Amino acid sequence: MTTHDLVILGSGPAGMAAAATAVTHGIKPVVVDEQPAPGGQIYRSIESTPVKERRILGEDYWQGKALIDGLGDPRIDYRPGTTLWQLTRRLEVGLLRGEQASMIRARHVILAHGAMERPFPIPGWTLPGVMTAGSGQILLKSAGLAPSAPVVLAGCGPLLLLLAVQYLRAGIPIAALLDTTSTGHYRDALRLLPGALRSAGTLFKGVGLLAELRRAGVRHVRHVTALEAQGDERLERIRWQCGDGAEWHYLSTPLLLLHQGVVPNTQVTRALDCTHDWDERQLAWHPRTDPWLATDVEGVAVAGDAGGIVGAKASAIQGRLAGLGAAMALGRAGEEQTRKEVKRLRRDLARETAIRPFLDVLYRPAAHWRLPEDDTLVCRCEEVTAGELRRMADQGCRGPNQTKSFTRCGMGPCQGRMCGLTVSELLADANGQSVAETGYYRLRPPFKPITLGQLATAAEDASR
């Protein structure tokens, strides 16, 4: 088993920035990424996208080029198409590349594997034809694919608006934008506006997106309070309700793209048994970190959205901080030497993240979007409904691990990624306890499935 000073998981903004910073301190990091090319989801396919007309994806996208160029440094051992299946508290790193499994050892690890979209459990969300806004954007960036018929976008959050505008710029018609932002949240968010003005650039871009949608005359339905996807073998139509109205509105569509924000992907930090806290403002779990972004597992730091949603620019800043933290932990940099840079990074980070409270409050999904009705599937893999989970709570199940045992909720191939947040919140609600008390799934490797044969090879590696 070879030993490396630094292993970075993920080549999004945080991972790329961490690698570039580490290199300047004489570290040769290994950067592992599941995707075939660097950029993470935000800068995905930047080198190969068929969408060359810059205004379609927007300048924020193309800004990622500088970070990606940095990853080309020969001192960085960048390994695309490589999946992390195991990471132990002794910093043994299990990798899968193609059919080949291997183990390496790290002295320091930076987890920069980013976010995932918050589950959006509505009736019919498992029908083919219902996808996420993130997937729509990935298809656009990576393959130049766009909806072939007028598309319905539903939910809330910056990504949803951005995708709508990117489709408009590419000449793709939007049948409707169903906005689930709660009425009261505009007022609540307004109070946070002064703070948000510190990241005025981001704020104005958001306002610009809304104006662009308005100018294009997109059917923007506000205050949507209920939404269902319907169809037999695939999505055929959707229906929704607005405000307090009991009236259902119907629309035929072959494609519904859902989005209600992004949340940290905590699969790896959970499996490491890092301490996690429930963030009531972001409605998500965060691994607990210190000012150097170090977790409470020795030698493991978390940078970027994997540690709490901060956005692409702040993720890159966190990546630099974590890279400096690694350099100091490995004895390649001293506190004196980095003090000035750290001070500047922290100031930049504060500025970039100043808008988060505003966004978190404005786009906070209302309770009924997070706590579905009894008939709705929560666990897509094992097909467990909200009602069944509530019945389990009635029988004394206090948390997700007991319901997992009793109903298989969270035991399927996605290993609870798609249901975990919903289950924690739903059981907290049903039991009248806090989400923090309710807890989350206890996770174990493999993070991604590995064949018995590959597992056998990995151990040979580990014993060498």
Partner 1 sequence: MKTYDFAIVGGGLVGSAIAYGLAKAGHRVSLLDEGDVAYRASRGNFGLVWVQGKGLEIPCYSHWSMSSASLWPSLTDELLELTGVATQHQAPGGVHLCYSRKEMELRQADLASLVKATGGQFDFTMLDHQQLREMIPEIGESVTGASWSRWDGHANPLYLLRALHAGFLRCGGTFLPGSRVHRVHQSGGSFVIERDEERVHAARVVLAAGLGNRRLATQVGLHAPLIPNRGEILVTERMRPLLNLPTTYLRQTGEGSILMGDSHEDVGFDEGTETPVLSSIAQRAVRALPALANTRVVRTWGALRVMTPDGYPLYQASLTHPGAFVACCHSGVTLAAAHAKRLAPWIAGDTLPSEIAPFTAERFDVQTVTPA
Partner 2 sequence: MFKRLPLPDTSAQKSVMVYFDGQQVTARDGDTIAAALLAAGVEACRTTPVSGAPRGPYCMMGVCFECLVEVDGVPNVQGCQILVKDGMQIRSQHGARRLG
- Full 3-state SS string of 336-389: HHHHHHHHHHHHHHHHHHCCHHHHHHHCCCCHHHHCCCCCCEEECCCCEEHHHH
Q: Name which position in 86, 132, 202, 454 contacts partner 2 (CB under 8 A).
A: 132
Site string for partner 2, 327-366 (x = CB under 8 A): ----------------------------------------
387 contacts partner 2 (rule: CB under 8 A): no
42 contacts partner 2 (rule: CB under 8 A): no
* Smallest separation (angstroms) from partner 2 to the CB of 353: 23
Dist CA 95 CA 103 (whole Å): 6
Dist CA 346 CA 179 (whole Å): 35
> Cβ of 340: how many Cβ atoms within 10 Å?
9
Choose between 185 and 448: whose C-beta lies nearer to partner 1.
448
Choose between 245 and 453: whose C-beta lies nearer to partner 1.
453
Cα-Cα-Cα-Cα dihedral of 195, 196, 198, 199, to 10°?
Answer: 160
Six-digit token string for 66:
């500088």
48 contacts partner 2 (rule: CB under 8 A): yes
- Three-state SS for 21? helix
Site for partner 2 (CB under 8 A): how many residues? 51
Dist CA 156 CA 183 (whole Å): 12
Phi, psi for residue 318 in degrees, rounded to 5: -60, -35
Residues in 311-350 at the binding interface with partner 1, rule: CB under 8 A: none
36 contacts partner 2 (rule: CB under 8 A): yes
Q: Name which position in 1, 24, 28, 34 contacts partner 2 (CB under 8 A).
A: 34
68 contacts partner 2 (rule: CB under 8 A): no
Dist CA 42 CA 46 (whole Å): 9
Peptide bond into 13 cis (omega under 30): no
- Residue range at the interface with partner 2 (CB under 8 A); choices 122-130, 181-189, 368-376, 425-433: 122-130
Q: Are 18 and 322 in contact (CB under 8 A)?
A: yes
Dist CA 167 CA 145 (whole Å): 10
- Beta 3-9 vs 100-111: how paired, if at all? parallel
- Three-state SS for 143? helix
Q: Are 190 and 240 in contact (CB under 8 A)?
A: no
Choose between 87 and 359: whose C-beta lies nearer to partner 1.
87
Choose between 16 and 345: whose C-beta lies nearer to partner 2.
16
456 contacts partner 1 (rule: CB under 8 A): yes
Residues in 377-436 at the binding interface with partner 1, rule: CB under 8 A: 395-402, 405-406, 408, 411, 413, 415
Phi, psi for residue 352 in degrees, rounded to 5: -65, -30
251 contacts partner 2 (rule: CB under 8 A): no
315 contacts partner 2 (rule: CB under 8 A): no
Dist CA 289 CA 65 (whole Å): 29
Helix (H) or strand (E) holding 390: helix 386-394
Determine the residue type at 216: A
* Smallest separation (angstroms) from partner 1 to the CB of 452: 4
- Beta 256-260 vs 151-156: how paired, if at all? parallel
Q: Name which position in 16, 362, 381, 392 contacts partner 2 (CB under 8 A).
A: 381
418 contacts partner 2 (rule: CB under 8 A): yes
453 contacts partner 2 (rule: CB under 8 A): no
* Smallest separation (angstroms) from partner 1 to the CB of 306: 22
- Residue range at the interface with partner 2 (CB under 8 A); choices 15-23, 30-38, 197-205, 238-246: 30-38
Choose between 128 and 449: whose C-beta lies nearer to partner 1.
449
* Smallest separation (angstroms) from partner 1 to the CB of 373: 22
Choose between 206 and 439: whose C-beta lies nearer to partner 1.
439
Dist CA 432 CA 434 (whole Å): 7
Site string for partner 2, 73-112 (x = CB under 8 A): ----------x-----------------------------
Sign of CA dihedral 46, 49, 51, 53: positive
Q: Name which position in 15, 29, 38, 94 contacts partner 1 (CB under 8 A).
A: 94
Which residue in 259, 220, 252 sits closest to 122, CA to CA?
A: 259
Choose between 113 and 286: whose C-beta lies nearer to partner 2.
113
* Smallest separation (angstroms) from partner 2 to the CB of 335: 38
Phi, psi for residue 419 in degrees, rounded to 5: -120, -15
Residue 442, CA distances (Å) to 102, 410, 457 in order: 25, 10, 26
Residues that bind partner 1 (CB under 8 A): 86, 88-89, 92, 94, 103, 395-402, 405-406, 408, 411, 413, 415, 437-439, 442, 444-446, 449-453, 455-456, 458-459, 462-463
Residues that bind partner 2 (CB under 8 A): 34-36, 41, 45, 48, 50-53, 83, 116-117, 126-132, 134-135, 138-140, 142-149, 170, 172, 233-234, 254-255, 265, 380-383, 412-414, 417-418, 448-449
